[in-house]
Amino acid sequence: MRAAAVQFNASEDTPRNLRTADRLVREAADRGATLVLLPEKFNCIGTAEVMLAHAELLDGPTITWARGIARDLGIELVAGSITERIAGRQRAHNTSVLIGGDGEIRAAYRKIHLFDVEVGGLAYRESATEDPGNEVVVADLADGTCVGLTICYDLRFPELFRLLALRGARVLTVPAAFTLATTRDHWEVLLRARAIEDQCFVVASNQIGSYGPGRETGGRSMIIDPWGVVLATAGDADGVIVADLDLDRQDVIRAELPSLANRRPSAYAWPDPVRT
């Protein structure tokens, strides 16, 4: 399987963002990719208020575009994430959608871990306008390969990634808008750790560049194998990276170093109360 990660600098301008996404997804397909990942909030990124104002239902223009291009190109497309409107409420979800080569939605994952942090002197409060999801989501591609869906800040929660692996995921997708500071210091370390500990391929698409005063993302999208080897990495500009995912090699790694099989769930217990 050949996978691609698309990276670009999105903005508040949805039509412009979709034109860019369309061009880069077509480039990925031209380079032989059959699984393509877009970044987090690829159709519109800005302040929380702007993203809420541009929130869409899953039958809105963005996912309609995504379904159309997946069908036209015969690829499986992870539509990074969009701000999904919650019908009847002034709230939203941060939602990643897996679309099959027939243009049909195969799965939708709503981000479980909301980005309520302070980084580089800036406060981010996703929970001000968004509700967390509560479902761990895996789905099979047309060839039977199981994919686990995550979004951005989820990367810091190894419990989620382990559950995805235990539910059969062989490829983990991470659409992101990682900040510049955390991209430089944490991004590669976390991505490689998730790949190694869960013996999965990790395909990660990050945004690149500024999307408002003081708000800057770090790029360096990556594709990593189950041994933790970086197969492809993007620079600091719009573009596409591709890599071949050798599932037979993954089987060998899991057989020779069977860390998933050697787990001892009966010995694991969460402390009560949990210290934080």
**Pairwise CA distance, residues 7 & 39, whole Å:** 6
**Pairwise CA distance, residues 33 & 31, whole Å:** 6
CB atoms within 10 A of CB 257: 14
**Pairwise CA distance, residues 152 & 174, whole Å:** 6
Residues 6+ apart with CB under 8 A from 59: none
For residue 53, give both structure tokens.
């104002």
Amino acid present at 225: D
For residue 181, give both structure tokens.
């500071």
**Pairwise CA distance, residues 44 & 41, whole Å:** 6
Amino acid present at 52: L
Amino acid present at 84: E
In contact, 106 and 90? CB cutoff 8 Å: no
**Pairwise CA distance, residues 234 & 227, whole Å:** 20
Please give the positions annotated as active site.
40, 111, 152
**Pairwise CA distance, residues 160 & 136, whole Å:** 7
Strands (DSSP E) along the chain, which ranges? 2-7, 35-37, 76-85, 92-99, 105-110, 116-119, 122-125, 138-140, 146-149, 171-176, 201-206, 208-212, 215-218, 222-224, 230-233, 239-244
